[in-house]
Amino acid sequence: MAARTLNAHLLAPAAIVAAALAAGCVGTELKDGGTYATTIAGKPFALKISSSAATRERGLGGITDIPADGGMIFVFGAPAMQSFWMYDCVTDMDIVYLDGLGYVTAMHTMTKEPLRRPDESVQQYGARLKRYTSNMPAQYVIELRAGRAKELGLKVQQKIELDREALKAALQ
């Protein structure tokens, strides 16, 4: 497929999305750590896929800049109550929780918090971090640059179209 021969690391995320859509990438090729090309509110996005315990734990921790057309999508096997925190995160971000059909259940702007202090245990650090919850069972979670959800006009109960079968295939 032509999209595989592109030097994706040299392209902006929007160009990756356009190339993937033009080449007709097959959704079943999605995998943990790969890129999911989609649109949100009519805008192209290239979201990093997190579908394993290891990538979910890391999330966007340590990332200093989220592109306007980038972010991460967390994929879970079934809808469940979700709660995220800003563990090792150094930049603010928006979080959008989606149910199994792609409807927004909750949105938050998560703000960075002081990183773990040398005299602070992992348990103490985790206990002091604010939790951001899905309010209702969610199967997908999207993290975007802070303020992006508002720019896109996203609202609770709005549907975001997802290739659910392709995302399901990315589960590990």
71 pairs with which residues across the strands? 47
Reported as a single tens digit per residue, the pLDDT across 46-82 is: 999 999 888 888 888 778 889 999 999 999 999 999 9
Residue 159's region, left for phi above 0, alpha for psi from -120 to 50, else beta, is beta
The domain ranges of the chain are 2-169
- The predicted pLDDT at position 62 comes to 78
- pLDDT over 50 (residue 13): no
CATH number of the 2-169 domain: 2.60.120.1140
Percentage with pLDDT > 70 across the chain: 83
Reported as a single tens digit per residue, the pLDDT across 143-160 is: 999 999 999 999 999 999
- pLDDT over 90 (residue 136): yes
pTM value is 0.81
Question: What's the average model confidence in pLDDT over 23-40?
Answer: 73
- The predicted pLDDT at position 58 comes to 82
- The predicted pLDDT at position 172 comes to 64
